[in-house]
Amino acid sequence: MPVAGSPGARRSIAAQPHLLGVRPDALGVDLAATGAVRTGPVGVGTGRLMRQRAAIDFAVSWLARNRRTEDA
């Protein structure tokens, strides 16, 4: 996944789902299933629009229910 570095530079980092204890795409799929995400064409890709406060609140709640910890 590309991330911003110094101005004009980009680098890639690998996602580390083991740090969350869940697959990050599962959270996105569940959020989209609530109807809170609107999709539409943007250039040659697909854009997704959602209210950020609602997405963050959903993610906090979702992670509390679904995250595996080393204690569990």
Q: Is residue 37 part of a domain?
A: yes
Write down the pLDDT at residue 70: 60
- pLDDT 10s digits, 13-67: 676 656 667 777 888 999 999 999 999 999 999 999 999 999 999 999 998 888 7
Domain span holding position 71: 20-72
Rounded-to-integer distance, Cα 59 and Cα 56, Å: 5
pTM reported for the whole predicted model: 0.64
Please work out, in degrees rounded to the nearest 5, the angle formed at the alpha carbon of residue 30 by the alpha carbons of 27 and 43: 85
What domain count does the chain have? 1
Q: Which residues pair with 10 in a beta bridge?
A: 4
Continuous H helices in 1-72: 24-33, 52-66
Which has more pLDDT, 54 or 68?
54
Q: Is residue 1 part of a domain?
A: no
Cα distances (Å, whole numbers) of residue 62 to 21, 56, 67: 12, 10, 8
Task: Check whether 1 has a pLDDT greater than 50.
Answer: no
Write down the pLDDT at residue 37: 96
